[in-house]
Amino acid sequence: MTKDYADFDNASHLDRPGVFRLNIGVSKETYASLFPGESDHDFTALDRLMPHPVYGPNHWVCVLNPSDSTFDSLKPLLDEP
């Protein structure tokens, strides 16, 4: 994602120059292991894995501007069914 969508999906403030969001759908089990408890997330934070601000309840995760090392650590998630 490279832009905000009005009032629907704007929590990441993707309107900042150079900011993009990588979204990944994962299994329910993986999602629960990554985020075992409810907590607040700064959806504008860069290079931090977090629930998707809109689709988190559907087991989507995201990261804004992932560094090379963060992207490498996420590669196994890309192979989930």
Tens digit of each residue's pLDDT (9 = 90 or more) over 30-57: 999 999 987 899 999 999 999 999 999 9
Residue at 49 is within a domain: yes
Whole-angstrom distance, CA of residue 46 vs CA of residue 7: 21
Residue at 9 is within a domain: no
Write out the residue range of the structural domain in which residue 66 sits.
21-78
pLDDT at 38: 77
* Number of folded domains that form the chain: 1
- pTM for this structure? 0.90
Taking 3-state DSSP, the helix, strand and coil percentages for the chain, each rounded to the nearest 5, stand at 25, 20, 55
Residue at 8 is within a domain: no
Instruction: Report the 10 Å Cβ neighbour count for 30.
Output: 16
pLDDT band at 72 (very low <50, low <70, confident <90, very high): very high
Residue at 14 is within a domain: no
Residue at 11 is within a domain: no
Residue at 4 is within a domain: no
Phi-psi region of 18 (alpha: psi -120 to 50; beta: other; left: phi over 0): left
